[in-house]
Structure 1
């Protein structure tokens, strides 16, 4: 039996989902010892629901708990860098929601901090977990899919002005961005998880749906390192909410389901070019073991991964995701194609937020 990790969570909004879908389903790997939230009523309700013994409105209290191994940061994005860094300095591992931070410079600072303090950062990319996306991953990694040709990724969700009545939403300083960093970031991570790194981007962003500072519509054209062409679209103005990935390879076409918040789940369409390829797919998937979806699947691997040092999602994955974000914002602002990787002398390496660039 492996180690049981003691967890403290700051932020009981998405933090509740981390418990319900993740930690509570793995009592052999995790024990939630403490919760922190500025809203006493929400704090008490979540703590009572999951029998969490310690409750506090002070983040500092969590840092000072000697028996806490992991701090799970589920606060508004503008706090992520500060709180994740504080967790590492306090000798804790840090789970952190998306977007991890607000710039490539902050990611690189955290990478150095991991080495300095000997603790790991565990980014949240739960959409990778589901039987559909994991079957596609196995087929691609086995070399069965062949040459990648083309991909499309759609994040068509619906958010009204009421959603942005929450004070920190829709603002560069506190949300760090719009649909690109708070909604479509998971689907874009899934694209790179299956199709590899991006080579060049041309993109446009716009604010058309709500009266907010940040973007709520994005369209981008990508060339991948392997030569495949990909189009991304994201909006918060779709009456019907869907997420969809469609990836065309030489031997196989993959298409996800349409469920907006569970695109990794079965059923995925996995269509082989001929009977021989189908036979190879069947062999690759023989004896398939069920993959728990979303946080349940991610946390199942995070516990053992902390012991072995072999994490299923790493800081490098988070950096790749935020490099894509940085390049899209840069391309839209400068109206030109942007080559990746981005170097430390890139204009938006330190921040993609307009106010910080202007300052």
Structure 2
């Protein structure tokens, strides 16, 4: 069920795209599919050739070499921030201060401190900052969330959340990759964060994490693998693995509840066919009825989330994923690192302003 506000008569959103690399293509495709709701009015990139090619392909009227000029001359309603992570804090803050909402790629910032700063710069009626966590918006996730919230699955008990991907050493030849100061972390921060965010969207608040992080095989500053045990406020426990060392790549989420097991197996995005539900004995009829009656037919991806963002902005409401929701996920990422490097369990209360992991995901310095 789509709970987005009805905005048929609302004004069109004027959007700009900052950064014209590969990920910007997904944003452009999502925006192009909704011409009745949004107009792309400008793009910006420090690379003149890249931004010109991108603007010409989209038939965008204005192209800029810097964000400040774009914000001053165009004043967009929404800026899609598709730049490397180390640039996000300053760029999103500039958007908010200029009165433009921002939809920022993951990770939204390099630390929870930076994200809290952005949240403080939001207005009560906008502008807002939203983070791209598109796995929340496929119909399978919406259906799972409804069933968990309604009690149709019973209590969630045990979960598995694996992002086991593979990246050669050459992947890290890009100067900002594999560095704490420009990427914020390794697969825990930049890759598994999507699946971890979906886990949190389904299971809610976490209360304790115990973790290990290693630099097993890649010549980088950050970890290339992490493993964590997470306790949730609702009593569920989860095992999380984030790896860039796994030749057979897979993204896998499993939640065992009292009445059924939910599973999602995919790589970079999913459709309804990637989900599986297995009712417990005696609960087959009710579980299948609830599963079949839920939302259908929407794949995860930028298009699904962008559609929600636009509808909310046109209704003058905070777009998903809000800074509050993104902060819960970022604090879990920080908790994984803090636990791994301090070699003890971590709670959200341990990650306040007095913690070195509040301002840097690797705390007060390199840990290897």
TM-score range, shorter chain: over 0.9
The correspondence for 1:210, drawn from 203, 215, 218, is: 218
| Structure-2 change in CA distance of 1:353 and 1:336 (3 Å) | closer
Residue 115 of structure 1 aligns to a residue whose secondary structure is coil
Match in the other structure for 1:100? 108
The correspondence for 2:280, drawn from 273, 279, 286, is: 273
Match in the other structure for 1:46? 54
Contact 1:91/1:117 (8 A) holds in 2? no
Contact 1:144/1:280 (8 A) holds in 2? yes
Equivalenced residue count is 356
| Structure-2 change in CA distance of 1:62 and 1:343 (3 Å) | same
Residue 103 of structure 2 aligns to a residue whose secondary structure is strand
Match in the other structure for 1:112? 120
TM-score, with length taken from structure 2? 0.91
Match in the other structure for 1:331? 339
TM-score, with length taken from structure 1? 0.93
- Cα RMSD of the aligned pairs, angstroms, is 2.0
Higher mean C-alpha deviation, range 325-334 or range 132-141: 132-141
Q: Which runs of 5+ in 2 are unaligned?
A: 1-7
Higher mean C-alpha deviation, range 292-301 or range 39-48: 39-48
Contact 1:9/1:34 (8 A) holds in 2? yes
Are positions 1:293 and 2:300 aligned together? Answer: yes
The correspondence for 1:127, drawn from 135, 155, 158, is: 135
Tell me how far 1:340 sits from its aligned partner: 2.3
Tell me how far 1:121 sits from its aligned partner: 0.6
Contact 1:5/1:29 (8 A) holds in 2? yes
The correspondence for 2:71, drawn from 63, 81, 86, is: 63
The correspondence for 1:148, drawn from 156, 162, 169, is: 156
Contact 2:12/2:37 (8 A) holds in 1? yes
Contact 1:71/1:87 (8 A) holds in 2? yes
1:16-40 per-position Cα deviation (integer Å, ceiling 9, x unaligned): 21111x2111112211111111222
Higher mean C-alpha deviation, range 118-127 or range 277-286: 277-286
Match in the other structure for 2:250? 242
Match in the other structure for 1:33? 41
Are positions 1:350 and 2:354 aligned together? Answer: no
Distance 2:139 2:64 in 1: 38
Match in the other structure for 1:78? 86
Match in the other structure for 1:282? 289
